[in-house]
Amino acid sequence: MDIQHKLEILADAAKYDASCASSGAARKDSRGGKGVGSTGGTGICHSYAPDGRCISLLKVLLTNACLYDCHYCINRRSSNVQRARFTPEEVVRLTLDFYKRNFIEGLFLSSGIIRSADYTMELVVEVARQLREEHHFRGYIHLKTIPEASPALIEMAGRYADRISINIELPTQQGLSKLAPEKNLARTQDAMGHIRGKIEERHAEKRKPEAPKPPPFATGQSTQMLVGADDSTDAVILQRADLLYGTYRLRRVYYSGFSPIPEPSALLPIKPPPLVREHRLYQADWLLRFYGFKVEEIASAAAPNLDLQLDPKLAWALRNRATFPVDVNRAPREILLRVPGLGVRNVERILSARRYARLRLADLLQLRVPMKKVLPFIIAADHTPARLGLDDDSLRARFLPPPRQMELDFAAPPVAGDIDSVRSGEL
Ligand code: SF4
């Protein structure tokens, strides 16, 4: 099989993995110094597929053959797909060729498991080693690691990669036992704990005065959770994400709406979850990380799934009308962050501007506050929401998306995986 054909198969197989995001923002010059792929200067290429997926990384599998039989995966042992396998040298050549043509910023490499976890991990690490040591590649490298691989190999992966990730896939052991019988939640979390230890060890070494520079290690780890493949509620998914952020200091948890694959297992649901569920989970994730919300406030045992029609912050505000209206001239930061429509940047601007004057609506407009959304929830020098006279139902109706938008939101995703454009944003 020629390399072009292998690329078609293995890049297509990799699209189901959502646990990477190419940095659109400024990033430190990976590994320092100059070299092929350094992003310290100009020439960084960002491009997006029509479905919003970021394709500025070469995102491929080393192989789509796999010993495991995860029911939700197109590459599982029992799947009837054409198999292909790159050699490490082929991936290295492709990465360098694409980089030099400015098609990509770096490499995202994952793999099905062949022969054993250690054998596969050795091949993955070999790609990164050749890029870094033989070709002095300074571009971004994200390696998917296998929790069952030996800690020494995961450590080596961390030494060459900017980001490493281990997919947790499902939030409960119960779900894994049913759909990914070879996978184990405790083992995956142990591996995450090991990576966290290594990252922190390196930071501590770096802080020691006059100590020699420690060997490089990945700056963060991330994971992916499938949504809608099992019956886990949003509350369960968010609790797991919260635990991963808190205990293992993950940089990101990616939520990937399950989408039906060719020749699906009978254990899988027939229909994918609506696209908007993934979007709401990203919004809720943002609230947990940057807005001081707790999981129980967003999705509780009584209402374990997110409201698909309204963003989770707005839904919370409508359930907690007693907290509002909030005076933008007096309220502390943590309360301002709870106002629907006020994002972190807006809140910082308000805190800074109100030191000099009592803020009026015109001032908020100048600070680019989305007025339609915030007006029912705030008091300003020249505004109290009582004048609007809105009760809970009319408020909810006011914020519902238009019917056409709702149709799109509740449709099945066009392709498997995530949409980058819904992964972030002010709430
Ligand atoms: S281990 Fe990975 S590649 Fe293999 S079947 Fe499971 S999800 Fe797919």
* For range 410-418, the mean pLDDT: 48
Q: Can you give the pLDDT at residue 93? A: 95
In a domain, 117, yes or no: yes
pLDDT at position 260: 77
Q: Is 342 in the pocket of ligand 1 (CB under 6 A)?
A: no
Residue 408 placed within a domain: no
Q: Which residues of 146-172 are buried (b: 16+ CB within 10 A; e: fewer)?
A: bbbbeeebbbbbbbbbbbbbbbbbbbb
Substitution site in 19, 63, 66, 121 for ligand 1 pocket (most atoms within 8 Å of beta carbon): 66
Domain match, 207 and 168 both: yes
In this predicted structure, the answer to whether residue 35 has a pLDDT above a threshold of 60 is no
Contact criterion met (CB below 8 Å) for 351 and 332 = no
Q: Give yes or no for residue 42 having a pLDDT over 90.
A: no
- 29 lies in some domain: no
If one counts the domains in the chain, the total is 2
147 Cβ closer than 6 Å to some ligand 1 atom: no
Write the pLDDT tens digit of every residue in 299-323.
988 899 999 999 999 999 999 989 9
pLDDT-based confidence at residue 415 (cuts at 50, 70, 90): very low
Average pLDDT of the residues in 34-48: 41
**396: its two tokens:** 């909810």
Identify whether residues 133 and 280 lie together within a single domain.
Answer: yes
pLDDT confidence of residue 372: 87
Q: According to the model, what pLDDT value does residue 145 have? A: 93
Say if 374 falls within a structural domain: yes
Is the confidence at residue 64, as pLDDT, over 60?
Answer: yes
Closest ligand 1 atom to residue 112 Cα is 3
Lowest average pLDDT, out of 112-121, 156-165, 399-408, goes to: 399-408
For the CA of 74, the closest atom of ligand 1 is: 8
| 300 and 359 fall within a common domain | no
List 221's β-bridge partners, or say none: 164
Q: Does residue 335 share a domain with residue 254?
A: no
Q: Which domain holds residue 299?
A: 3-23+34-306+413-422
Q: What is the pLDDT of residues 87-129, one digit of tens each?
A: 999 999 999 998 898 888 889 999 999 999 999 999 999 999 9
> 17 CA to middle of ligand 1, Å?
10
The residue that leads in pLDDT, 388 or 392, is 392
396 and 418 assigned to the same domain: no
- Residue 140, pLDDT score: 86
Residues 60 and 106 reside in one and the same domain: yes
Does 130 have pLDDT greater than 80? yes
Rg of the chain over Cα atoms, rounded to whole angstroms, equals 23
Condensed to tens digits (0 to 9), the pLDDT of residues 203-250 reads 888 888 877 888 888 888 899 999 999 999 999 999 999 999 999 999
Residues 324 and 187 in one domain: no
Ligand 1 pocket test target in 16, 19, 73, 165 with most atoms within 8 Å of CB:
73
Residue 333 has pLDDT above 80, yes or no: yes
Residue 75 in contact with ligand 1 by CB distance below 6 A: yes
Residue of 318, 241, 319 lying closest to 278 (CA atoms): 241
Q: Is 277 in the pocket of ligand 1 (CB under 6 A)?
A: no
User: Considering Cα of 344, then 346, then 347, then 348, what sign does the dihedral take?
Assistant: positive
In-domain check, residue 210:
yes
pLDDT of res. 264? 78
Question: Does residue 406 lie in a domain region?
Answer: no
- What is this structure's pTM? 0.83
Ligand 1 near 81 CB (within 6 A): no
130 shares its domain with 184: yes
* Local confidence band at 257 (pLDDT 50, 70, 90 cut-offs): confident
DSSP code per residue over 333-363: HHHHTTSTT--HHHHHHHHHHTTTS---HHH
Cα–Cα dist 115/124, whole Å:
13
| CA distance readout (Å), 74 to 71, 79, 99, 303, 363 | 8, 6, 28, 33, 53
Same domain, 222 and 92: yes
Highest mean pLDDT, choosing among 8-22, 29-43, 337-351: 337-351
Indicate whether residue 176 lines ligand 1 (CB < 6 A). Answer: no
- 3-class state of residue 57 by DSSP: strand
**338 and 269, same structural domain?**
no
Judge whether 166 lies within some domain.
yes
Domain contains 283: yes
CATH number at residue 58: 3.20.20.70
Query: Going by CA atoms, what residue is nearest to atom 3 of ligand 1?
Result: 112
Lowest mean pLDDT among 159-163, 354-358, 404-408: 404-408
What's the pLDDT score for residue 57? 82
Q: Could you tell me if the CB of 68 is within 6 A of ligand 1? A: yes
Comparing 295-309, 331-345, 406-420, the range with the smallest average pLDDT is 406-420
pLDDT in tens, 167-202: 999 999 999 999 999 999 999 999 999 999 999 988
User: Which tops the pLDDT comparison, 381 or 395?
Assistant: 381
**Ligand 1, atom 6: nearest CA belongs to which residue?**
70
Same domain, 222 and 364: no
Do 67 and 208 sit in the same domain of this protein? Answer: yes
